[in-house]
Chains A and B, each alone.
Chain A
Amino acid sequence: MQHLEPAVITVWRIKAAMVWTGLVAGMVFIDIAVSVGGDGPLFGFLRSACTILIGSAWTAVIPSLRYRFWRYVLRSADLYVERGIWNRVYTVVPLRRIQHIDVSQDVIERNFDLGRLIVHTAGHRSSRVVVPGLPYNEAESLRGELKNAVAEDAV
């Protein structure tokens, strides 16, 4: 069983913080609009405060929890993935069911030299099975291993 690269926690934190900053900005805007609109500060900036509170708790806790429950291993005939905080999901992707493979990296991940391995299958729910937080070379070499294992098989 392999863990993800711990740096992925920081990547997830940054992404969560970005989303929550957007939400907080929205709430602050609403609060200002309400108080300027003459309805008076009924709850003051309660809405914004709540959003900030939930947002910071989320950003602090969720990424590290998610990391804790994320595991994967490439076995001889399948890719096995374990994840989920609330709903614990174990996935077995037989290698010969793989249709094609992506290695992907966004701007934030690039700063930490991380990449994502994305395995596409014909399965309805599993059209994209993503393994995030891999060192970029590791993601590429995993891709190579998977590729060799993909055998002739059609839907």
Chain B
Amino acid sequence: MTKTKKTVVILLIIAALIAIIPLFTLKGAEFGGSDDAGSKVVSEITGTDYQPWFTPVLETWIGGELPCEIESLLFCVQTGIGVGVIAFFMGRFVERNKIENQKSKIK
């Protein structure tokens, strides 16, 4: 393995560890949705249970809260689009590099 490859692998492992470790060290933690805590602080500061003055359009359209499974589906779609684009172009770059290297070898 080249040095760059090694660095990349090590960096990715570190990133994965940072992401995963809290899950094991903080047993029983909720890992709740990120919106809730912010709203709690708002309620705390204003002293009353804050009522948002506008509901998300999607929730208005379907007339209720977004089912949690559907939400994760949509998040996956978002990730999928992103990963797809990155992987597609990265693949193209890698192949192009290969061909260019071969050409320069023949010369």
A, B from the same assembly: no
Name B residues whose Cβ lies closer than 8 Å to a Cβ of A. none
A interface list, Cβ under 8 A from B: none
